[in-house]
Amino acid sequence: MNKFILIAVFFISVSGFSQDILGKWKTIDDETGEAKSIVEIYKKKR
């Protein structure tokens, strides 16, 4: 039971520090190291 509580507390604390993926991201070519494109991730308003 104590292990379960410890694991639950760990996952709750880790989820509190998660980063947001929204924004503009640059993709990089693995071979050349040059920027290929910019991808924008946004939340659609309904």
Could you list the pLDDT tens digit for every one of the 46 residues in the chain?
Answer: 678 888 877 777 655 566 778 999 999 999 999 999 999 999 888 8
DSSP string, 3-32: HHHHHHHHHHHHHTTPPP--EEEEEE-TTT
Q: CB-based contacts of 43: which residues, under 8 Å, 6+ apart?
A: 22
**How much is the pLDDT for 12?**
72
Residues 40 and 46 sit within 8 Å (Cβ to Cβ): no
Give residue 46's pLDDT.
Answer: 84
Q: What is the pTM of this model?
A: 0.47
